[in-house]
Homo-oligomer: A and B are copies of this chain.
């Protein structure tokens, strides 16, 4: 049997990145998962990521401890209230949400690039989505292509032996419902995933933040039931 090629998968423990992990495995890659502990409110994500990586049988799983709080400026890391029960139509217009973390995807992809070099990975998978997160500049296809071009000038492997880095964003044009249908077809167990920006002390999803609302609407649109429980069920 030929040896599988290596890929890095950015794994937050959320619904999207867990689906991406299943896609990378379907694509035949040996997966090196990379998660971040960055003082986020939803630290339960990191615990979810560990369980998901273990269940998927990844080659390697690293959790990088990084410091985004020094910058402030986002409800996900600073002391700003997470918005609740916002109209989804309002979330999805071109306004940039308060939960935006400056340069977060650039920082995550930069680490992924270093991890790709160390693990001999040619491909980096990231679960960005341009539909539900149109307000985040670093979720757009043109951003992903620009990062890829930069990455191919940045690394020893690109310079020494001309091997190319490919940034894969397989969810970028999918709706949440389409993501859930695809993941379900690949056997993803969504009961292990967490999406909430503001979970309870016991780790239960709030049901009211943007991420919970998007997730609940996605399962409803897909005609599937969401296996996780919520403090407050969908309105």
**Interface set of A (CB-CB < 8 Å, partner B):** 62-68, 70-73, 96, 100-107, 109-111, 113-115, 117-118, 137-138, 140, 142-143, 146-147, 149-151, 153-156, 158-160
A151 neighbours in B (Cβ, 8 Å): 106
Please tell me how many copies of the chain the complex holds: 2
- Most chain B CB neighbours (cut-off 10 Å) among A70, A102, A159: A102
Q: When the two chains form their complex, are residues B137 and A114 in contact, meaning their CB atoms are under 8 A apart?
A: no
A64 contacts which of B67, B100, B109, B118 (Cβ < 8 Å)?
A: B67
A107 contacts which of B100, B107, B143, B149 (Cβ < 8 Å)?
A: B107
Q: When the two chains form their complex, are residues B137 and A117 in contact, meaning their CB atoms are under 8 A apart?
A: no
Q: When the two chains form their complex, are residues A96 and B160 in contact, meaning their CB atoms are under 8 A apart?
A: yes
A155 to chain B, nearest CB (A): 6
A80 to chain B, nearest CB (A): 13
A47 to chain B, nearest CB (A): 18
A104 contacts which of B96, B114, B143 (Cβ < 8 Å)?
A: B114
Q: When the two chains form their complex, are residues A143 and B150 in contact, meaning their CB atoms are under 8 A apart?
A: yes
A107 to B, closest residue via Cβ: B110
Q: When the two chains form their complex, are residues B149 and A153 in contact, meaning their CB atoms are under 8 A apart?
A: no
A159 neighbours in B (Cβ, 8 Å): 96, 137
Q: A118-B72, A154-B138 are in contact. Are A102 and B106 (CB under 8 A)?
A: no
A160 to chain B, nearest CB (A): 7
Q: When the two chains form their complex, are residues A153 and B146 in contact, meaning their CB atoms are under 8 A apart?
A: yes
A143 neighbours in B (Cβ, 8 Å): 150, 153-154
A64 neighbours in B (Cβ, 8 Å): 66-67, 70
